[in-house]
Chain A
Amino acid sequence: MKIFVCVKHVPDSAATIVVKDKNQIDERITFLLNPYDEYAVTEAVKLKKLLDNQAEVIAVSLGTADAEKTLRSAMAMGADRGILITTEDRQDSIITARALKAAIEQDCNIEVKDDLYQYGDLSLIFTGRESIDMVGMQTMFRIGAYFNIPVINNVVKFTPFIEDGRLSKAEVESLAGEGRKNIYEISCPCVLGAGRGLNTPSYPTFPDVVKARKKDVKIVPLDDLIKNLIINSIKYLISDSKFDNPQKEQKNGAEIINLELFAEQRTPKRIDGEPLEAAKEIVRILKQKAKVI
C-alpha cells in the first residue's frame, strides 16, 4: 500500500517578497514545506501507523532542485521516501497535476484496463488544502479528475475504515466556510486536501533529521516524465496534443503576466478603558463587525 503526499516548496510566509522582472519573485529568500502540507504529511504518517506500518508514505513534489529540501522536511516528519520532479520554471496547476499524477502512476504501476483504472498499490493521496504562494486550490481537484477518483478539500477530520489490513473507505469532515462542516463517506483511493486543524503537525527532532538525510529521493526531470507518458500513451493522461510540449502549453495555458505585492490594509484600533468595558467592546466588534461569534 502506498500513501502519497503531494508537497510544495513555497516562500516562507514571514519572508519579505520582492518582485523582479514584473512577474517573478526574487527567490533569494527562505523556501520551505507549504504549511498546509505539514498537516498532510502528519496525517499520512498517522494512517501508516493505523495500517500497522504495512504501507509506505511517499512525498512527491514538482519544483526546482532546491525543492529537495522540502522533500527532506517531509521525510524528517515521517515520509519514507521522496520523488522530485525537477523543472526550472514555475508551472501552473495543469502541468503540476499532470506531472504529479504521472509520477504517482509510474510508482504504483497503475494501468487502465477496459477504460477502467486499476489502482494497484495506491491507497490515498494527500495534499495541503492550498499552497500559500499561489493559493490556486486546483491541483488536488485536477489530480482527482485525472485519476477518476473523488476529491475532498479542506479536510479537518479523517477517520479511515480498515478492512483486512487494507484501507477501503473513510469518513471525512471538511470545512465549507461560515463554520459549516460537510461530512462525507468516501471510497479509497481518493484525494484529500488537508486543512488547518486536521492534526497538530509533528515537527522533526534531530534524530528524525539525521534519518531523513539517508532516505531516498528519486529525481525525475519533468521532460523525461512526459516522454515516458507519451510512450505509454495512456489516454486519460494525454487528452490533448499540447501535452507533448509543456513549455508551449504553459504559454497557451496560464501565464503570470504581472505580479503585484498585496499588503493587507491594517487599521489597528486601540481600545482604552477598564478591562471589563474593553472586553465588552471586543465582544461587540467580534459579533457585529467581524461576525465571527
Chain B
Amino acid sequence: MNKKYDAIIIGAGVIGCPIAYELCKMGYKTLNVDKNPDAGEGSTAGSCAIVRAHYSTADGVAMAYEGFKYWLDWENYLDHVKDEKGLAKYMNTGSLLLKSEGHDWKKVKKNYDEVGVKYEEWDNEKIKQMIPPIDLHKFWPVTRPEDPKFYDEPTEMLEGGIFCPEGGYMNDPALSAHNIMRATEAKGGQFIFNAEVVSIRSENGRVVGITLKDGTQIDSPIVVNVGGPHSFKVNKMAEGVWEGCNIKTKALRHEVMYCPSPDDYDYLNKGYHMSDGDIACYSRPEVGNTFLIGSEDPKCDPQEWVDPDEFYAGKGGPGRDNQLTEAQWKAQCYRWAKRIPTLPVPNQPKGVVDLYDCSDDWIPIYDKSDLNGFYMAVGTSGNQYKNAPVVGRMMAELINACERQGLEHDKTPFQFKYQYTGRVMNVGFFSRKRAINKNSSFSVNG
C-alpha cells in the first residue's frame, strides 16, 4: 500500500516549508519531499535573505511589508517551537535605496505611500554622515570592467536616497527554513529528504501522487511544486502543466561576493542594507565585518541559463557550474568598490554561486495549474525569500479555497487578506495565465 497524505509539497526550502506549515494548521496531513539532505539546503541556503520593501509594483511592496512583520515576530510565527539548531535571527539594519536611473525610485516612493511603508528621504549629506566611506558620485550607465568606460572619472553626483528603517536580513536563510520545518512537524507535518521525485502521477485529469527515484510511490490528491530552480523540470513531469503556463520558469545562475569592510568602518554593526541601481549592485552586512555584494542584473551582464542538475553537480562547465568566475567577481566587487572607494578587494574570489528560479517577467507564479490538484509556488526570481511566510499562508488558503470550497480560481481569482496590514491581495496577479507584466523591473528587484 502506498502511503497517503492530504498534500505533498515538492521542496523543503523557505517557501515549501511555510506552505506545509500553514496547511498543517488548517488540518491537512502534509509531506514535504526534498532531494537535498535537510530543509533549506537548496537555493534557499544561497539566498542573501534580504528583507526590504522596495518593489516596482504596489502589490510587491505590500507583500514584502507584510512579510517583514512575520520576520519581526519570528518566535510567535513558529509558535515557540524548539529547534535543536537554534533560531534564525532577523537583523534590522534599515534599508537604503539610492536614487538613481537604475531604479524607478519615484514609483517605489509612490508605492510606499500607498501601502503605508515608513521611510525617510536622505540627501547626500545625510547619507555621507550615516555611511562615512561612501562616494556618492554618479557612475551610470552600468558597465563591465572589460569596458574602458568603466574607469571613466565620474563628474555628476547622485541625488540622495530613500531610507526605510524597517528592513534588513535574516542571518541564516537555511536555518530559517529548518525552523519552519520544526514548526510544521510540531503540527503533524512530515518530511523526507534525499528523495528525488521522478514522476507525478495523474488519473482522469487529477493528480494522484508522486513516484520517487527509488520507486517509492506516495499518494495524494494535492501536489504543490515548490521545486525552486528545479520547478520547470517538476512542471514538465505533471500532465499538461508546463503547456498550460503562459509564464514559464527556468534556472538562472547567479553569483554573490564577499569583500572585507574597510578597517575603519564597522559595516556589520553600523551598516545598512543598500540597493544601488546606479551600479546595479546591492549589499548587506555579513559576519566577519564583510560586505555581501549582489548583482541587480544589469543589461551588460551575461545571463547564464543552466540545467540545475548539471549546475549543482558542478558539471555545467565553466561559467555554468557552481564556481565563482573571475569576470563576475571583478564586475561586482569593482562596481561596489567605486561606491566604497576604501573597500579592499581580495585577489581570490569569495562568495556564493546559486540559482534563481526565474520567471519570464521576474514575478513569481503562485497559482493552481491545468492539472486538478496540482499547484505551484515557483518563479521566485531571487526576490521572494522575504515573502516566504506570507506566501505560505496565501498558498495554503488558495489550495483550501479551491479544494474544499470549490473556488474556480482561474475565473474568480482568490482574494487573500494580509494578516498584519489588512490589505487584500488579488492572487490572480500571480497567475500562470497572465500576460508578461510590463511593470516588472525584470530583475532581482522584482
Contact = CB atoms under 8 A, between A and B. Distances in A.
Interface string B312-324: 0010011001011
Interface stretch (B169-177, B230-238, B335-343): B335-343
A30 interface: yes
Given A29-B318, A30-B324, A205 B345 contact: yes
B347 A209 contact: no
A61 interface: no
Contacts of B344: 202-205
A210 interface: yes
Given A28-B318, A32-B326, A204-B344, A12 B349 contact: yes
A144 B31 CA distance: 68
Contacts of B324: 14, 30
B345 A29 contact: no
Interface in B340-399: 341-350
A15 to B, nearest CB: 6
A38 interface: yes
A210 B324 CA distance: 23
A207 B345 contact: no
A14 B323 contact: yes
A258 interface: no
Given A32-B348, A209-B345, A15 B323 contact: yes
B349 A30 contact: yes
B260 interface: yes
Given A203-B260, A206-B337, A16 B323 contact: yes
A56 B69 CA distance: 58
Interface in A195-215: 201-207, 209-210, 213
Given A30-B326, A206-B337, A16 B342 contact: no
A211 to B, nearest CB: 10
A206 B346 contact: no
Interface in B304-336: 314, 317-318, 321, 323-326, 329, 334
Contacts of A35: 347-348
Interface residues of A, number: 24
B321 A206 contact: no
Nearest to B148: A213
B82 to A, nearest CB: 17
B326 to A, nearest CB: 4
Nearest to B321: A16
A204 B345 contact: yes
Given A14-B324, A15-B323, A30-B324, A205 B343 contact: yes
A32 B349 CA distance: 9
Interface string A83-118: 000000000000000000000000000000000000
A77 to B, nearest CB: 8
Contact of A205 (B321, B341, B347): B341
B193 interface: no
B151 interface: yes
A32 B345 contact: no
Nearest to B343: A205
Contacts of B349: 12, 14, 30, 32
A129 B184 CA distance: 54
Nearest to A214: B151
A202 B343 CA distance: 11
Contacts of A206: 334, 337-338, 341, 343, 345
A13 interface: yes
A201 B350 CA distance: 16
B321 A203 contact: no
A31 B337 CA distance: 21
Nearest to B314: A16
Nearest to A30: B326
A14 B257 CA distance: 14
A13 to B, nearest CB: 7
A209 to B, nearest CB: 7
Most B CB contacts (10 A, CB to CB) among A13, A202, A205 go to A205
Interface in A1-23: 12-16
Contact of B342 (A14, A38, A205, A209): A205
Nearest to A26: B318
Interface string A27-54: 0111111010010000000000000000
B341 A207 contact: yes
Contacts of A202: 344
B347 A73 contact: yes
Contacts of A12: 326, 348-349
Contact of A203 (B323, B326, B334, B347): B347
Contacts of B343: 205-206
B337 A13 contact: no
Nearest to B153: A210
Interface string A241-277: 0000000000000000000000000000000000000
B328 to A, nearest CB: 10
Nearest to B319: A28
B314 to A, nearest CB: 6
Contacts of B321: 16
Contacts of A204: 344-345
A210 B151 contact: yes
B234 to A, nearest CB: 27
Contact of B347 (A16, A29, A32, A207): A32
Contacts of B317: 28
A261 to B, nearest CB: 13
A213 B347 contact: no
A209 B325 contact: no
Contacts of A205: 337, 341-345
Nearest to B351: A14
A170 B221 CA distance: 79
Nearest to A74: B347
Nearest to A41: B347
Nearest to B260: A203
B170 to A, nearest CB: 25
A82 B282 CA distance: 35
A19 B314 CA distance: 15
Contacts of A213: 151
19 contacts: A14-B323, A14-B348, A14-B349, A28-B317, A30-B323, A30-B326, A32-B347, A32-B349, A33-B347, A38-B347, A73-B347, A205-B337, A205-B341, A205-B342, A205-B344, A206-B337, A206-B343, A207-B341, A210-B151
Interface of B: 151, 260, 314, 317-318, 321, 323-326, 329, 334, 337-338, 341-350
Given A13-B348, A209-B337, 7 more contacts: A29-B323, A30-B349, A32-B326, A205-B337, A206-B334, A206-B338, A213-B151
Per CB-CB distance, the 6 closest pairs between chain A and chain B, nearest first, are: A203-B344, A206-B337, A30-B326, A28-B318, A33-B347, A203-B346
